Amino acid sequence: MDLSVWDPFREMEDLLDRYNQAPRKSLTRGSDSIFEVGDWLPVVDIEENKDAYLVKAELPGVKKEDVSVNIDNGVLTIKGEKKSEIKDKKQHRVECSYGSFVRSFTLPQTVKAEKIEAEYKNGILNLTIPKSEEAKPKQIEVKVKS
């Protein structure tokens, strides 16, 4: 008779693993439009300084030619695909995300969309979205009357 240790959480982990690897590619309906959903979501940081908004998206293992950045009706969309290089090999565990991704962000009306700059280096996509002149903070001098 063989004895084995029963792990009550193992079945739950297996179920969650299967759920996380299920394809999520679909279209979901928002309030007025349809949004595309990818297989995974890259993490994104968005910062603001006095001149621009800075968007940093981490896209590890994604080639530059597999990434596109578009602006349509004030919505910035980062879209692409991370392709799996492992084919016909025995896999013991797959924790990396593969497949298509889509991230969309509504831009403020006070940006210069035609002046957006994109740089891609070492799996990091950096976007610089300049603000229009009226959106930049202004210093007003206070005069003292004597």
pLDDT digits (tens, 9 = 90+) for 38-96: 788 899 999 999 999 999 999 999 999 999 999 998 899 999 999 887 777 888 887 88
How far, in Å, are 34, 36, 136 from residue 108 at the CA level?
Answer: 20, 21, 13
Residue 27 contacts residue 42 (beta carbons within 8 Å): no
Amino acid (one-letter) located at 65: E
Flag whether pLDDT at 30 surpasses 70: no
pLDDT band at 19 (very low <50, low <70, confident <90, very high): low
Q: Say which DSSP state 139 is in.
A: -
Flag whether pLDDT at 36 surpasses 70: no
Residue in this structure with the two tokens 């084995």, named with its chain if needed: 4
Q: What whole-number distance in Å separates Cα of residue 101 and Cα of residue 79?
A: 6
Query: Model confidence over 112-129: pLDDT tens digits?
Result: 888 999 999 999 999 999
How far, in Å, are 51, 70, 71, 136, 138 from residue 141 at the CA level?
Answer: 20, 40, 38, 16, 10
Q: Which of 101, 100, 37, 103 is nearest to 70 (CA)?
A: 103
Q: What whole-number distance in Å separates Cα of residue 146 and Cα of residue 144?
A: 6
Q: What whole-number distance in Å separates Cα of residue 141 and Cα of residue 146?
A: 16
pTM greater than 0.75 (yes/no): no
Q: Which residues contact 53 (CB under 8 A, 6 or more apart)?
A: 46, 47, 107, 108, 111, 128, 129, 131
Flag whether pLDDT at 27 surpasses 60: no
- CATH classification of 27-84+97-134, choosing from 3.40.50.300, 2.60.40.790, 3.40.640.10, 3.30.70.260? 2.60.40.790
User: Which pLDDT does position 2 carry in this prediction?
Assistant: 66
